[in-house]
Structure 1
Amino acid sequence: MGSSNSDDAGVYKITNDVAVVFTTDFFTPIVDDPYSFGAIAAANSLSDVYAMGGRAIASLNMAMLPSDSKFFPYIRQIMQGGIDKMKEAGVSVIGGHTVKDKEPKFGYAVLGLIHPDKILDNAKAKPGDALILTKKIGTGIVSTGIKAGMCSNAVIEELTSSMAALNKRASEIMLEIGVSTATDITGFGLIGHLSEVLNASKCQSRLYSSRVPYFDEAVRLAERDIAPGGTLGNLKIYNPIIEWSKGVTDSEQVMMNDAQTSGGLLIFVPQERKDKLVGALQKENILAAHIGDVLSENIKSDKKVFVEK
């Protein structure tokens, strides 16, 4: 399985019972604390494997770091944050590669395992599926606010905690319940990653902006027109496939296209299993917001996503 359907990771079949899942991701610091940066980078890199329904087993770090000796203590903290998060996930760090770079960048290549018949790829969404989101939206907007000095320490802590949280248990629960498919919400935003699944599955969906869980700070900042370039780029790219109802505000439109870092899983689950999935996630203190549904029948329209208040 390659890139034809914009899936979260590549999959290579080894035997009739075993396939390997490959993914990689790295980025510049999203928070100031180096340890947290390493932990977030690890959680983000693992997420693609979890979204595919796989079990991550090994990783290689990718580090692009300044060679100035003054930066060396931060390197140790970044690496340790990543190692500890991988350990929490039960994933071995078996090596990596480091190059000199003026601006630090860090992440991982991750290897996972999956049964070839149980891959949750983008082409498996079904008409009528409920859409369940497992983390709040708004990391890009809030991160921009933090860089501008507009956010409190409490906001920074909430954001950091969310981005560093693994999607591992949410993935395990969705596999136990039985779902159609899933994707993780990252750089293309909620609308962008949803549209990738809808395109591959030849479906349309209806979302409810009032059901989407946003960081409170993201709402405040978006209403003040604070948003990163990637978010505004997403809005421009995906707007042609969206039909917004009159009640959806401009700030909600921006937030639903916000470029996320280490966002949650968007799970496509049959309606008859929705309540069981939501209950199981909430029992383990995992957010489980029913934000919309795949349409039971496609509407004659070039739009993919219909957003109501």
Structure 2
Amino acid sequence: METIKLTQYSHGAGCGCKISPAVLETILHSDAPKTIFPELLVGNESKDDAAVFDLGDGTCVVSTTDFFMPIVDDPATFGAIASVNAISDIYAMGGEPIMAIAILGWPINKIPAEVAKGVLEGSRKVCLEAEIPLAGGHSIDCPEPVFGLAVTGKLKKENLKRNDTARVNSLLYLTKPIGIGIVTTAQKKGIVQQAHYQRAVDSMLTLNWLGAEIGKLPYVSAMTDVTGFGLLGHLYEVCEGSNLSAEITFSKIPTFDFLDIYLDQKSIPGGTIRNWDSYGSKISAITEKQKVILADPQTSGGLLIVVDEDKQTEFEATMLQHNYSLRPFGRLVPKTKTVIEVK
């Protein structure tokens, strides 16, 4: 069978396909009377990673769905990345995944069914790594290839980590480097170095299982994962939801150390501009380089963690026990007109 390059069949890639924050705000807005469900602890209102429903016995169900078009050409790798990305939403709430359902859209007259089989095989491998079943799913004939998961998880109510409960003077941490959109755009343009591309793929394939452990830490006041809205976009959601502002130091933010090579060649995904247009007015004056990195849409990005300042040493020591060497890149401060100050 002829080698299929999946990225050639889609107009976007990975979480770069996400609708911009500003447009999404319009879509989600409703003038209908709001129905209150007391057991629904987290819904649309907080723009969080997953919905959380209180079962009333000290445990909660966590539910999410995430899917996108190919960000890599290899079918199994595409299925694996999409699955890691979807499962991450459960971890980002401090929960543990328990089951996944597949979502598949496939152009059956353009791409052989055997290729879709490879996508599902990649997903099954990741679900096995996360120790959950891929228990079913739904498929449709679709103009472009689309894959993702609906994932169900659980957590103890006291371990719930929201994105709108951050405390002032807390420190900010990130568990993965940013720059995925820049690298995958370079791959699509045919200019990426294989070693750089593999580092990005390895990052996207890394499960954010650490979130389930962080959920147990009472001095972590908020958490989310960094995906299609970029670091600035997801940090903006934390700040707005918590009525705080942030001060971050660009040089301390984890990034891939080779991004300049591709920025010099204008390897910038379209999602970056859409992101910046949505929230750029709330950010301090920054350089063009800072903008295209900090608003870069991430696929299967890392966890953004908010930690009480007086627990810095304890938190970093705990992360080392899990083989994560983390350092803060900023802090949350009382609310100002500029939501995020970049230094």
Q: The TM-score by the shorter chain falls in which range?
A: over 0.9
Q: Aligned equivalents of 2:213 and 2:311: distance in 1? A: 12
In structure 1, what is the equivalent of residue 6 of structure 2? none
Q: Aligned equivalents of 1:128 and 1:218: distance in 2? A: 31
Select which of 249, 252, 266 maps to 1:211: 252
In structure 2, what is the equivalent of residue 271 of structure 1? 309
In structure 2, what is the equivalent of residue 230 of structure 1? 271
In structure 2, what is the equivalent of residue 30 of structure 1? 71
Q: Secondary structure at the match of 1:276?
A: helix
- Superposed counterparts of 1:17-166, under 5 Å: 17-68=58-109, 71-166=112-207
1:222·1:255 contact (CA, 8 Å) conserved in 2?
no
Q: Aligned equivalents of 2:341 and 2:99: distance in 1? A: 40
* Compared CA separation, residues 157 and 151, structure 1 to 2 (3 A): same
Select which of 210, 215, 218 maps to 1:175: 215
One-letter amino acid of the counterpart of residue 177, structure 2: K
Q: Secondary structure at the match of 1:180?
A: strand
Gaps of 5+ in 1: none
What is the root-mean-square deviation in Å for CA atoms of aligned residues?
Answer: 1.6
Q: Secondary structure at the match of 2:46?
A: coil
Superposed displacement of residue 217, structure 1 = 3.3
Superposed displacement of residue 287, structure 1 = 5.2
Q: What is the number of residues matched between the two proteins? A: 301
One-letter amino acid of the counterpart of residue 25, structure 1: D
2:87·2:151 contact (CA, 8 Å) conserved in 1?
yes
Superposed displacement of residue 288, structure 1 = 2.2
Q: Aligned equivalents of 2:59 and 2:212: distance in 1? A: 18
2:95·2:215 contact (CA, 8 Å) conserved in 1?
no
Superposed displacement of residue 277, structure 1 = 2.3
1:142·1:217 contact (CA, 8 Å) conserved in 2?
no
Select which of 56, 59, 65 maps to 1:15: 56
* Compared CA separation, residues 70 and 26, structure 1 to 2 (3 A): closer
Bigger Cα displacement from structure 2, 14-23 vs 102-111: 14-23
Return the TM-score normalized by structure 2. Answer: 0.84
Gaps of 5+ in 2: 1-41
